[in-house]
């Protein structure tokens, strides 16, 4: 399975997928990493792993690059841009995204990065976590593939919660990409079956 990963930041989720492909856990190959931010450390991680790393802000050119690479799966790993309906149409049910909350809580327009954890703390939730989902035209609204929860403690702040959530994001993104590459994901209505049936 040929994978493209889109990043905007440090790329720690990308790194988890790179490692899992390198050690054979994921039966897939990252063919390209694209970022809309030139200084994204995720591009450096790609270069260090001898993966084609491209800085491209124009979405039309991003689409052309992906289509040129014969990609089977697009992974959004901290990609801070909303994809156009055209992009989503072209890669229908081949785009997955990781979001640092238990969707449908604390998601959608304006909920990204530390803001998500700040809102969870302010709300006073006892559990937060991460979600991997297929991307559709509703920001963070596509069919959910996997979720994992973490406890929120009284003394937590956005930083301590983000750190705890990020650790399970790295597990979740690898598990979701592996399920996809193993052909185990089946969308039935709004639900994603992960047993292949």
Inter-axis angle of helices 158-181 and 12-22, to 10 degrees?
A: 30
Strand 73-76 with 52-55, pairing = unpaired
12 labeled binding residue? yes
Distance CA(150)–CA(139), nearest Å, equals 23
How many helices (H) and strands (E) would you count in the chain?
A: 6, 9
Hey, how many other C-beta atoms are within 10 angstroms of the C-beta on 96?
24
CB of 14 to ligand GRF, least distance (A): 6
Query: Is the separation of the CB atoms in 10 and 41 below 8 Å?
Result: yes
Among 3, 32, 73, 78, binds ligand GRF (CB under 6 A): 78
Is 117 among the catalytic positions?
no
Catalytic residue among 99, 117, 133, 170: 99
Asked if residue 132 binds ligand GRF (CB under 6 A), the reply is no
The pattern of x and - marking residues 35 through 64 that bind ligand GRF according to CB under 6 A reads: -------x----------------------
Residues in touch with ligand GRF (CB under 6 A)? 7, 9-14, 42, 77-78, 98-100, 112-113, 166, 169
Residues labelled as active-site residues: 99
Annotated binding site for (6R)-10-formyltetrahydrofolate: 80-83, 97
């Amino acid at each position: 399975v040929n994978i493209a990963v889109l990043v905007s930041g440090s790329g720690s989720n990308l790194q988890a997928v790179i490692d899992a492909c390198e050690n054979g856990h994921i039966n897939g190959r990252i063919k390209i990493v694209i970022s809309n931010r030139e200084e994204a450390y995720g591009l450096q991680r790609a270069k260090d792993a001898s993966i084609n790393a491209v800085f491209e802000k124009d979405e039309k050119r991003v689409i052309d690059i992906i289509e040129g690479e014969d990609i089977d799966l697009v992974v959004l790993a901290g990609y801070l841009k909303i994809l156009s309906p055209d992009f989503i149409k072209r890669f229908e049910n081949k785009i997955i995204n990781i979001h640092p909350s238990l969707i449908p809580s604390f998601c959608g327009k304006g909920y990204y990065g530390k803001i998500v954890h700040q809102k969870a703390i302010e709300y006073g939730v006892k559990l937060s976590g991460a979600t991997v989902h297929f991307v559709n035209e509703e920001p963070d609204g596509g069919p959910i593939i996997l979720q994992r929860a973490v406890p929120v403690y009284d003394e937590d702040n956005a930083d301590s919660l983000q750190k705890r959530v990020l650790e399970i994001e790295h597990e979740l993104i690898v598990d979701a990409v592996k399920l996809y590459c193993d052909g185990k994901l089946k969308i039935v209505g709004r639900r994603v079956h992960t047993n292949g049936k």
